[in-house]
């Protein structure tokens, strides 16, 4: 019998397949151009500012001012954002479904996601309503890996990290959770996630 009674999920890359490649591979003809664009123009650091609450329009305008020749491609990032949603990651969804059937286990979401785009995901994916609670970075005006967002989750839902698991596909985001006392799982595939939960006797 496990003492774990809480499982906290990251969303993008864990439960939902989100990938800007679905848009930009249609725009750029070579992988070299694509990687250059991600490294120099629509960087992950730039996207994370919108995840942390910066309005999409402000983030877009700022970048266009810096790179006017890339305006069309920059605008595509949020204008075509819905095309970046590939759908649920079904193996993880099955694990989530099984956890929901366990009365002793509560589930939560902790996600870096813009407050402007998250409602699209909420309307598209019913399973986002299954959680006992969720913390969305854009609504909190902070993001992972800053410790305050993990503390918000703990305090708002009265989570005891010593009886909780946190899983994320970005290893950077696991460190603060571990420091706060969570058992962490680096998500690499649904099969590996299931196996790790079984080892911890949660499934």
165-184 pLDDT, tens digit per residue, is: 999 999 999 999 999 999 99
70-79 pLDDT, tens digit per residue, is: 999 999 999 9
143-166 pLDDT, tens digit per residue, is: 999 999 999 999 999 999 999 999
Q: Model-level pTM? A: 0.95
Give the whole-angstrom CA distance, residue 96 versus residue 32: 37
Domain extent listing, the chain: 6-17+86-199, 19-84
In this predicted structure, the answer to whether residue 186 has a pLDDT above a threshold of 90 is yes
113 touches 137 (CB < 8 A): yes
List the structure tokens of 84: 């970046």
Q: Using the CB atoms, write b or e for 50-70: b if 16+ within 10 Å.
A: bbbbbebeebbeebbeeeeeb
Pairing of strands 133-136, 164-168: unpaired
pLDDT at 1: 52
6-17+86-199: which CATH topology?
Rossmann fold (3.40.50)
- For CA atoms 25, 53, 130, 119, the dihedral sign is negative
pLDDT at 46: 98
In this predicted structure, the answer to whether residue 2 has a pLDDT above a threshold of 90 is no
34-67 pLDDT, tens digit per residue, is: 999 999 999 999 999 999 999 999 999 999 999 9
pLDDT at 141: 97
E strands along the chain, which residues?
A: 6-9, 16-18, 85-88, 106-111, 133-136, 164-168, 183-186
80-139 pLDDT, tens digit per residue, is: 999 999 999 999 999 999 999 999 999 999 999 999 999 999 999 999 999 999 999 999
């Amino acid at each position: 019998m496990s003492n774990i009674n809480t499982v906290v999920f990251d969303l993008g890359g864990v439960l939902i397949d989100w990938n800007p490649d679905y848009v930009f591979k249609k725009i750029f003809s070579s992988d070299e151009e694509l990687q250059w664009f991600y490294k120099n123009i629509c960087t992950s650091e730039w996207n994370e500012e919108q995840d942390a609450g910066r309005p999409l329009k402000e983030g877009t305008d700022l970048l266009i001012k810096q790179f006017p020749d890339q305006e069309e491609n920059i605008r595509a990032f949020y204008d075509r954002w819905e095309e970046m949603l590939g759908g649920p990651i079904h193996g993880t969804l099955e694990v989530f479904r099984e956890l929901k059937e366990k009365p002793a286990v509560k589930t939560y979401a902790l996600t870096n996601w813009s407050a402007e785009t998250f409602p699209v995901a909420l309307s598209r994916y019913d399973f986002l309503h299954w959680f006992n609670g969720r913390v969305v970075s854009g609504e909190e005006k902070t993001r992972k890996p800053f410790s305050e967002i993990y503390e918000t989750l703990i305090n708002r839902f009265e989570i005891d990290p010593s009886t909780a698991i946190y899983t994320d596909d970005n290893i950077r985001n696991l460190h603060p959770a571990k420091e706060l006392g969570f058992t962490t799982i680096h998500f690499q595939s649904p099969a590996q996630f299931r196996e790790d939960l079984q080892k911890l006797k949660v499934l």
